Amino acid sequence: MPKLTDRFGRTIDYLRLSVTDRCDLRCTYCMPEGFHDFETPDHWLSFDEIERVVAAFGRLGVSRVRLTGGEPLVRKGLPELAARLGELAEIDDLSLSTNAVQLARHAEALHAAGVRRLNVSLDTLDPARFAAITKGKLEKVIDGLMAAKAAGFAPIKINMVVMKGVNDDEVEAMVDFCLEHGFTLRFIETMPMGETGQAASDTYLDLREVRARLEQRFELLPGVMPGGGPARYVQVAGSDLKIGFITPISQHFCESCNRVRLSVDGTLYLCLGQEHHLGLREPLRAGVSDAGLEALIREAIELKPERHEFQDHPGQVVRFMSMTGG
């Protein structure tokens, strides 16, 4: 199998695929309120185009694909796309990041399509606070999570962006919730993505503080999580609960970065925190051959920068997280 390796010796085997830049929530740190400047669907890759790109990545050694967004479940026909990608021989790990608002309706179809691993954003267990952070209804998310559990997804990871003075008092409650339901828990530091992420920077909390707090109540053993990505994991002694800390700001993890991101308009972004990119939509629509597509992907990988610069240049990223998919 040919490998995609970048200038810094990192092997790229993971593609994050943003299937829409729209969302049915408005998380304060992510999607601007009144944000209507969406790419028109004409500019979105069709399912055929997405499948071609993913197949090309597969031939180049990428075996893991995550569907994300925006909110992937607002893209019409998502389970159908998942099934098509799940049938590609080279892709052996298909996963989904979702806010779970519409998950109850789609959980079974997605599981049948071959999606197994699920990441669900959940920052609070308090309905009023949930509404304040996301403009949505907590109840739907909980229904979605329970439907996913019943459908057999494993692991189900809860992603909680921990914000000082907003939800940091709920860290222990979220641990209890995940213990009760057998979910994995991941805490995330706020990143200065787009204006919204930059505005949320004053609620930034160094997760080392959260970890120290948890150590007062739980015994935390060193843990590992297969396919765990950038999170550093611990295991809560006496339980199956794994807790991950995603610390792009306080302890960046760029040296082990294994991923690139394809936005819904067919732009390949080489780093979440940098602008380096290469457009695939035009060549696709101009009839590029499979070999030509693979050559373009290899060319793009050459552009992958060594690291993000959230800390040195926090004002530089103009993209919202919803464009390139977290």
State in angstroms the smallest separation of the CB of 109 from ligand SAM.
18
133 binds ligand SF4 (CB under 6 A): no
x-or-dash string of contact with ligand SF4, 79-118, rule CB under 6 A: --------------------x-------------------
Q: Which stretch binds ligand SAM (CB under 6 A): 63-71, 137-145, 230-238, 272-280?
A: 63-71
Pair 45, 284: CB distance under 8 Å:
yes
Which residue in the block uniquely carries the two structure tokens 């692991």? 155
CA distance 73 to 103: 7
Positions in 114-143 near ligand SAM (CB under 6 A): 121
CA distance 213 to 11: 35
68 binds ligand SAM (CB under 6 A): yes
ω into residue 305 within 30 of 0, thus cis? no
Residues 6+ apart with CB under 8 A from 318: 194, 275
Q: How many CB atoms lie within 10 A of CB 63?
A: 17
Across the strands, what pairs with 243? 185, 234
- Provide Rg for the chain, Cα atoms: 19
Choose among ligand SF4, ligand SAM, none what residue 231 binds, the Cβ cut-off being 5 to 8 Å by kind: none
State in angstroms the smallest separation of the CB of 322 from ligand SF4.
4
State in angstroms the smallest separation of the CB of 197 from ligand SF4.
10
Positions in 113-132 near ligand SF4 (CB under 6 A): 121
Pair 112, 80: CB distance under 8 Å:
no
- For ligand SF4, the binding residues (CB under 6 A) are 23, 25-27, 30-31, 69-71, 99, 121, 321-322
- For ligand SAM, the binding residues (CB under 6 A) are 23, 29-30, 68-69, 71, 97-99, 121, 159, 161, 188, 190-191, 193, 197, 200, 321-322, 325-326
